Amino acid sequence: MTTISQIEKESDESISSEQEHSDHRLFGLITFLIADGMTFAGFFAAYLTFKAVNPLMPDAIYELELPLPTLNTILLLVSSATFHKAGKALENKHNSQCQKWLLVTASLGIAFLISQMFEYFTLPFGLTDNLYASTFYALTGFHGLHVTLGAIMILIVWWQSRSPGGRITSVNTFPLEAAELYWHFVDGIWVILFIILYLL
């Protein structure tokens, strides 16, 4: 154990192995995101099957309102762009710029969550009303959980990039890259979710 932790320290110091280092972690993260995506794929498959084989009674059908979810989609897409900006700023060693963009991204994420909450409270159906209601809340809720985790991660990254000698610098961008990749993934899932749940 001691030897291993020594090696970790040593390899942290050399730049060439640092490169290799972050590479594995990103690769691992991508593998994890594929796994996470499969969870959503399972939910989507379940929803589409329910839709195909378990039609609702005509009086129970409720057309979802589009304006709010469309706003949500725009919020998330913009937040992906701002996160990208933050990454670029860090690469160019504009730390304060990076922090600003991170905060913008986090607030967009939180705005998404608030708007989603607002939608939940205005909808005329609850979790257990019928199969669609349940699936709707399960899908959006599971995605909302991901957004919540993402927002927390962004705030942690922001916190760690504040102090000049902190963990996240233009040399060690991995935590930011990882959070960014995760955030893009969550946004991508939302787009699919939006199409399947609201548009189809």
Partner 1 sequence: MSISLPPKTESQPEKLQPTGWLRYLSFSLDHKVIGLQYLICGFVFYLIGGVLAGAIRIELTSPMSDFMARDVYNQVLTLHGTIMIFLWIVPVVNGAFGNYLIPFYVGARDMAFPRLNAVAFWLIPPAGLMLISSYFINGAAQSGWTAYPPLSITTPAPGQIVWIISVLLLGGSSIFGGINFIATILKLRRPGLKLMQLPMYCWAMLGTSILVVLSTPVLAGTLILLSFDIVAHTGFFNPTLGGNVIVYQHLFWFYSHPAVYIMVLPAFGLVSEILPVHSRKPLFGYVTMVYSIMAIVVLGLVVWAHHMFTSGTPPWMRLFFTIATSFIAVPTGIKFFNWVATLWGGRISINSAILFSCGFIVNFILGGITGVALAQVPFDVHVHDTYFVVAHFHYIVYGGSVFVIFSSIYHWYPKFTGKMLNENWGKLHFLMTFIGFNLCFAPQHWLGLNGMPRRVAEYDPQFTFVNQLSSMGALLMAISTLPFLWNVVYSFLKGEESGDNPWEGLTAEWLTTSPPPIENWIGDAPLVVEPYGYGKKEKPQIPSETAMKEDKK
Q: Which residues bind partner 1 (CB under 8 A)?
A: 1, 3-5, 7-8, 10-11, 14, 17, 20-21, 23-25, 27-28, 31-32, 34-43, 45-46, 49-50, 53-54, 56, 127-128, 130-131, 134-135, 138, 142
Nearer to partner 1, 35 or 200 (CB): 35
In whole angstroms, the minimum distance from the beta carbon of 41 to partner 1 comes to: 7
In whole angstroms, the minimum distance from the beta carbon of 44 to partner 1 comes to: 10
Nearer to partner 1, 79 or 150 (CB): 150
HSE at residue 113, side-chain half, CA atoms within 13 A, is 17
Residue 93 phi, psi (nearest 5): 65, 25
Nearer to partner 1, 56 or 110 (CB): 56
In whole angstroms, the minimum distance from the beta carbon of 31 to partner 1 comes to: 5
In whole angstroms, the minimum distance from the beta carbon of 138 to partner 1 comes to: 6
Q: Which helix (H) or strand (E) holds 90?
A: helix 67-91
DSSP 197: I
Nearer to partner 1, 11 or 163 (CB): 11
Residues 6+ apart with CB under 8 A from 37: 185, 189
Contact predicate 132/64, CB 8 Å = no
Nearest to 109 by CA among 73, 86, 79, 141: 79
Nearer to partner 1, 159 or 174 (CB): 174
The Cα 40–Cα 54 span in angstroms is 20
In whole angstroms, the minimum distance from the beta carbon of 38 to partner 1 comes to: 4
DSSP 58: G
The Cα 111–Cα 109 span in angstroms is 5
